[in-house]
Structure 1
Amino acid sequence: MKQILLILALLLAPLAAAAQEETVVAGLSQNEVSITANFNGSEILIFGAVERYTPVPEGNPLEVIITIEGPDRPVTVRRMDRRYGIWMNTEAVEVDAAPTFYAVATTNPFREVISDTEDLRHRISIPRAIRAVGTETEHQRDFTDAVIRIRTNEDLYQVLEGAVTLRNETLFNTSFRMPANLVEGDYTARIFLTRGREVVSSYETAITVRKVGLERMIYTLAHERPLVYGLLSLAIAIAAGWLASAVFRYIRMGG
């Protein structure tokens, strides 16, 4: 039995070494994004190198795909149609896992750097990153497309073909513009190396997006102490109304 295991190990060793011929060594300009009261977006630079133990393979050029994905949230998308002279909701689909932010950057056009099978396996493109469940409908794809269209217009979904710079099949870099309307949470950056439209290596790291300062205090109060938050909001509204009324009376008396 030991001899059989030894033979299998010797046979599989070359395959394991081949699988590690190219690996990613990467870094980020920042691993944490702080959302403050005057936050208007942030830029993240992702850079790295390809570590290899054999000469650069010939034939299929190396390609790089880099993604940043925000936390998933459920979304209900409704279709409105005109019925009996009025507009009403006629269909709905629950998108069970839609990233709040998703950006994908590539060295070349997306379909030239990865096959559909590999895209499905790793969930790299935006449609693959979204899962729709719930109500079955022949127009389900239309609902998913609606989510993508809305969030693309809000700069929350980005497709940046050709935005990754690759030098000598070794050094690569790109940058992502994170919009001001980011959702707080844990984000994931992924890097894929492909040859012949097949993934040969991947790398993953985390990015933290957190509210800080006054934004953090208000967010925590609203979610952890909703009664206190409500009473405080009411008190501020009453005080603001009284102050506005006092100023108005002062102006009238002065006139």
Structure 2
Amino acid sequence: MRVLSLVLLAATLFAPKAVKATEEQVVLGLSRDRVAITANFDGSDILIFGAIKRESPIPSGDPLQVIVAVSGPSAPVLVRRKEKKFGIWVNTDSVLVDAAPSFYAVATSSPFTEVITDTEDLRHKISINRAIRSVGADMNIQNAQEFAEAVVRIRAREGLYSIRENTVAVDEQTLFRTEIDMPANLTEGDYAARIYLTRGGKVISTYQTTIDVQKVGLERFLFNLSRQQPIVYGLLSLAIAIAAGWGASAAFRALRGN
């Protein structure tokens, strides 16, 4: 009996511990997972909706909050500072921002500061300023952070960066939906759509999917031609310009003749 008890005790101590599953998980849906950039493309609206999967009743306490972040491909950005010297504007300091998404939109179910704490934002890099990485500034450059802020300011003015508070509708702490407006000046590539569930400002569950943004039709043909056969692309552009000029001249002469 003592031997059996020791065996059972050893089995209990060294048995792998079960990992507690996340109590609330995202089940996501998209109105579309592909955006086609055509000649008359003037932007696109993507409806992001989903539900919360639970294995137990809705927890009491802090209400469920939802954050939806959609980001485009990241690339380095060279930012220059201009100063007026001797009556003219000249470039002075410059900083290479290591990585800045071409598009970034954050939608929240409540004001951003109420949805997530600063510590959790720092950990998951959700806010726009923390989604940009700039670590290579020269030590001699003053206020280097202003260069990253300039990227945010310029792209926000172009409609590429935005924080949309109170735009995620949450029904009965179970269903959520929001709409992300994507402007016409999109960069093609894979766009990451991230969903965060929070309670009391802490992230309790995350989910990520991809939205494919690509040029199609004539735009795709011309884009590939310009990259793969630049000489042919240049000659074709020249021929089109000459043909257009000749056509406009012929039409003008015909109108004068009448």
Structure 1 residue 167 corresponds to structure 2 residue 193: no
Tell me the amino acid that sits aligned with residue 160 of structure 1: R
Q: 1 CA distance for matches of 2:227 and 2:12?
A: 58
Provide the aligned length of Structure 1 versus Structure 2: 249
1:41 corresponds, among 22, 43, 46, to 43
What's the Cα RMSD here? 1.9
1:209-250 CA distance string (max 9 Å, x none)? 011111111111112211110011111122223333334444
Tell me the amino acid that sits aligned with residue 180 of structure 1: A
What's the TM-score, normalizing by structure 1? 0.91
Mark the runs of 5 or more structure 1 residues left unpaired by the alignment. Answer: none
Q: 2 CA distance for matches of 1:8 and 1:25?
A: 35
Percent pairwise identity: 58
1:54-86 CA distance string (max 9 Å, x none)? 222112221110011100122111111122333
Larger radius of gyration: 2
Cα 1:179–1:9 shift into 2, 3 Å? farther
Structure 1 residue 25 corresponds to structure 2 residue 39: no
Structure 1 residue 7 corresponds to structure 2 residue 13: yes
Cα 1:9–1:164 shift into 2, 3 Å? farther
Q: 1 CA distance for matches of 2:147 and 2:126?
A: 19
Contact 1:23 1:202 in 2 (8 A): yes
Residue aligned with 1:131, SS: coil
Cα 1:4–1:103 shift into 2, 3 Å? farther
Structure 1 residue 157 corresponds to structure 2 residue 141: no
2:234 corresponds, among 230, 242, 249, to 230
Q: 2 CA distance for matches of 1:207 and 1:189?
A: 7
Structure 1 residue 94 corresponds to structure 2 residue 96: yes
Tell me the equivalent position of 1:219. 223
Tell me the equivalent position of 2:145. 141
Contact 1:93 1:133 in 2 (8 A): no
Deviates more, 1:131-140 or 1:228-237: 131-140
